[in-house]
A and B are shown apart, each in its own frame.
Chain A
Amino acid sequence: MVSVCFYFQVHQPNRLREYSIFDIGNNSDYFDEKKNEEIMKKVAGKCYLPTNNLMLSLIEKYKGKFRINYSISGTAIEQFEKYAPEVLESFKKLNKTGCVEFLNETYHHSLAFIYSKEEFRKQVKMHRKKIKELFGQEPDVFRNTELILNNELAREAEKMGFRSILGEGADHILKGRSPNFVYKPKTSQKIKLLLKNYKLSDDIAFRFSNKGWKEYPLTAEKYAQWISSINGNGNVVNLFMDYETFGEHQWEDTGIFKFMRKLPEEILKHPDNEFVNISEIIKKYEPVGELDIHSFVSWADIERDLSAWMGNKLQESSLNELYRIEKYIKATKDKKLIEEWRKMTTSDHFYYMCTKWFNDGDVHKYFNPYDSPYNGFITFTNILNDMVLRIKEIIPEIKNQDNEKNMLNINDNPSEKLKNIEI
């Protein structure tokens, strides 16, 4: 039996406007709403709406035999609400079919787990609440931003009550084993780890329209054969990809929609193949072994590590400074400021500062609103500086830093009074 598990990631960040050093202290208008709206409407038209329609028609056609899974970031949901409410409606319609499962992630698609467990838990809860409100589902499955995962994160997810967690099927954690089984991360009790089959996933997400690829053109028949050949040496095929693959990364004229329309039929031709929601996998399969994910693994770039977001000093220092002011941001109890700070935690802001230009760089460039990582850094840091001024306005007793080692002029040690504020 091969259980085919499609999980699509839906995400849009809140892009920042060009916020200059002269804006600090003069205005606190950080987000480029015009660009966010423009991109949301464009992607809704090219990807979200047509792909949702396609998925809906496939679900209806195969009467429960075609099932899929989504994770939609909170920042994307908010932008749907603001700029493309019809997309949210179409997700609700998909939800009603009973064939769609929604996963839980950090609301702001953040790297919070690495920097602040407290903020991480908060963002997971926020997202959970939002998914329940919208779809009535209470996810059993957790996926962290960009499939970032290690042993400790899996254990944390388990403690929070999740029964399954997703990860990248990177060679260095599988060490020769197959991604097509359920595993258990070392140091966890029983949480089930599903690993992305990166070869088959990337065949669709990255290579589909690549004319230089030896399998080009990829047909549904051929792909279904690859899936069927797993029978006998695997239980699940985890096809994890960005939802924007359909119509946005791979344009309609590449034939991606036609491929997807045909795929369920071809896969279901083999009697031992099926499509599943992740909770069915949890019920059906037990871990075949334990994997040690000692250091962080992700689904990004050839390295499949954290270097796309934390690989250089620009990224490191922006992240450090962002989380250094967390306690003060929360102490202000200013809801607007706290929410704006959270929007700054979205991983994309750090991805834009990546300087690995020459291999994976092409992908980075395509998704980058800035013409250079340096400009991404400058804008981000200017905004943090303005946030520091806002903090000091609300809590004047906060001291300036003792020396100039950090980019933000704020002391690391909260005063006695502040220590008692619950944050």
Chain B
Amino acid sequence: MKIFMLGWEFPPFFAGGVGVVCYQLSKYLSKRGIEVNFVMPSGPKEAESDFVNLIIANNLVSDKNIHIKKIDSLLMPYITSEGYLNLLKNKLMFKDFGSTGEIYGENLFAEIERFKEKLLIIGKNMEFDVIHAHDWVTFPAAVALKEATGKPLIVHIHITEFDKTGGVHADPGVYRIEKTGMDKADVIIAISNFIKNRLTDKYYVDPAKIKVIHNAAEIPEKDYKTSHKINENDKVVLFVGRITLQKGPDYFVEAAKKIVEKEPNVKFVMTGSGDMFPQIINKVAELGLTNKFIFPGFLNREQVFRLYSMADVFIMPSVSEPFGLVPLEAMASKTPAIISKQSGVSEIVGHVIKVDFWDVNDIAAKTLAILKYQTLNNELKKHGSMEVKMLNWDIPAQKCIELYNQLVYH
């Protein structure tokens, strides 16, 4: 079985969240004997990988050979490169931003179109059984390749345009590309039921065409145990993530208010930054919680893991979370987690406390229960960390292989 996989990034080159998924999935597919040709638009000349045939479109086919069709003018007015840079910034969690312009070019849509043309040239000279494309930026290329070769197409949806805007509206240009990809695909993989519901509600996709394959997580086992405490008597309640509408930081602050009314010896730590940061600082001050809150800013991974092991409770009050990896990191670090029911990750873990993000009373009550009842705390730690260990990437890889077989042999 040979897979032609399309992505926009692949670690260690431009490793965003989706890049990590592509990396892990390909690795486990190849372990099970699937040949993966991974194509992405750009990357360093010497790019290679142990387990996939990594193809950098720009390195193989120069721009000179490409005649870009005139881009549909309807797409243009809604897109600013600045908007996309912000978006990409959010997606590319671990990387330094210096090179973004280089990867994505002046205009994202032009780049998407250019990738499509190059891909057709590459794809026509290759043998493969299934096209597997990750997220909307690769869809036009994938659809063109399907039409040129007649091979079955799987589109893999990690996030939709609606999720980036808190579920309210979508950029029409992006929506059209997403929708065309979904319509032309033979099968759609959604990374959660949360995403599946988006696809049926907002993109009118036939649910029978969607297969939910949850992401897994491989969290490096390192002992970040620290004896460090903020101070002797204070418990620590932690928020990790961007301080943006999507992550529900305001609900965290409102819950904090209710928690300290019952249990004053608690410190709340909020990492990260984001466009709601000033608003959150104001709210904390308004509620008289300034001396209860710590904002350490942007932290590297090791620092975040140290924080997990210092924390007594981790809370993810996300308003909308297609998957949500952070609670798994907290659980792996033996920190009891309270997570929003409005998240994909809540579909695959049981040893956490699940809440509605807007129910700040419940968030506060459950936090207090974890702080107060040692047995509860211990059980969540013990079973939570064990549960995360079982979330192996081999499981989604096997489900993909089943799909490939169905598409090719039936």
- Residues in B with CB closer than 8 Å to A20 are 361-362, 365
Check A21–B376 contact: CB distance below 8 A.
no
- Residues in A with CB closer than 8 Å to B351 are 355, 374
Interface-forming stretch among B7-15, B93-101, B276-284, B366-374?
B366-374
B406 to chain A, nearest CB (A): 23
Check A21–B369 contact: CB distance below 8 A.
yes
Asked if B378 is at the interface of the complex by the 8 Å CB criterion, the answer is yes
Check A407–B361 contact: CB distance below 8 A.
no
Query: Within the assembled complex, what's the spacing in Å between the Cα atoms of A312 and B350?
Result: 15
Q: Could you tell me the dominant secondary structure of chain B's interface residues? A: helix
B262 to chain A, nearest CB (A): 7
- Residues in A with CB closer than 8 Å to B368 are 21
Check A314–B262 contact: CB distance below 8 A.
no
Query: Within the assembled complex, what's the spacing in Å between the Cα atoms of A378 and B366?
Result: 8
A77 to chain B, nearest CB (A): 33
Asked if A375 is at the interface of the complex by the 8 Å CB criterion, the answer is yes
Query: Within the assembled complex, what's the spacing in Å between the Cα atoms of A357 and B351?
Result: 11
| Residue interface mask A367-380, B partner, CB < 8 A = 1 | 00001101101100
Check A382–B369 contact: CB distance below 8 A.
yes
Query: Within the assembled complex, what's the spacing in Å between the Cα atoms of A374 and B383?
Result: 11
Interface residue ranges of A56-114 to B (CB < 8 Å): none
- Residues in B with CB closer than 8 Å to A371 are 354
Check A375–B353 contact: CB distance below 8 A.
yes
B90 to chain A, nearest CB (A): 31
- Residues in A with CB closer than 8 Å to B373 are 377-378, 381, 407
- Residues in A with CB closer than 8 Å to B226 are none
Asked if B171 is at the interface of the complex by the 8 Å CB criterion, the answer is no
Interface residue ranges of B368-390 to A (CB < 8 Å): 368-369, 372-376, 378-380, 383
- Residues in B with CB closer than 8 Å to A382 are 369
**Which residue of B353, B354, B365 contacts A21 across the interface (Cβ within 8 Å)?**
B365
- Residues in B with CB closer than 8 Å to A375 are 353
Check A407–B379 contact: CB distance below 8 A.
no
B213 to chain A, nearest CB (A): 20
Chain B's closest residue to A407 (CB) is B373
**Which residue of B354, B366, B378 contacts A313 across the interface (Cβ within 8 Å)?**
B378
- Residues in A with CB closer than 8 Å to B372 are 21, 407
Asked if A22 is at the interface of the complex by the 8 Å CB criterion, the answer is yes
Check A22–B365 contact: CB distance below 8 A.
yes
**Which residue of B354, B375, B378 contacts A372 across the interface (Cβ within 8 Å)?**
B354
| Residue interface mask A240-252, B partner, CB < 8 A = 1 | 0000000000000
Check A314–B361 contact: CB distance below 8 A.
no
Chain B's closest residue to A355 (CB) is B383
Query: Within the assembled complex, what's the spacing in Å between the Cα atoms of A22 and B383?
Result: 27
Chain A's closest residue to B375 (CB) is A317
Check B375–A407 contact: CB distance below 8 A.
yes
Interface residue ranges of A1-45 to B (CB < 8 Å): 20-22
- Residues in B with CB closer than 8 Å to A372 are 350, 353-354
- Residues in A with CB closer than 8 Å to B383 are 355
Check B376–A314 contact: CB distance below 8 A.
yes
Query: Within the assembled complex, what's the spacing in Å between the Cα atoms of A377 and B353?
Result: 11
Check B379–A314 contact: CB distance below 8 A.
yes
Chain B's closest residue to A19 (CB) is B365
Query: Within the assembled complex, what's the spacing in Å between the Cα atoms of A371 and B339?
Result: 14
Check A312–B369 contact: CB distance below 8 A.
no
- Residues in B with CB closer than 8 Å to A22 are 258, 262, 361, 364-365
Knowing A21-B368, A381-B369, A382-B369, the reply to whether A374 touches B375 (Cβ < 8 A) is no
| Residue interface mask A386-423, B partner, CB < 8 A = 1 | 00000000000000000010010000000000000000
Query: Within the assembled complex, what's the spacing in Å between the Cα atoms of A378 and B364?
Result: 13
Check A21–B262 contact: CB distance below 8 A.
yes
**Which residue of B258, B354, B369 contacts A378 across the interface (Cβ within 8 Å)?**
B369
B210 to chain A, nearest CB (A): 24
Chain B's closest residue to A371 (CB) is B354
Check B365–A374 contact: CB distance below 8 A.
no
B357 to chain A, nearest CB (A): 16
B389 to chain A, nearest CB (A): 15
Interface residue ranges of A330-379 to B (CB < 8 Å): 355, 357, 371-372, 374-375, 377-378
Query: Within the assembled complex, what's the spacing in Å between the Cα atoms of A378 and B377?
Result: 11
Query: Within the assembled complex, what's the spacing in Å between the Cα atoms of A178 and B258?
Result: 61
Query: Within the assembled complex, what's the spacing in Å between the Cα atoms of A317 and B375?
Result: 7
- Residues in A with CB closer than 8 Å to B380 are 374
Q: Could you say which of A22, A357, A372 has the most chain B C-beta atoms within 10 Å of its C-beta?
A: A22
Residues of A within 8 A of B (CB): 20-22, 312-314, 317, 355, 357, 371-372, 374-375, 377-378, 381-382, 404, 407
CB pairs A–B below 8 angstroms (7 shown): A20-B362, A313-B379, A314-B375, A374-B380, A377-B375, A378-B365, A381-B369
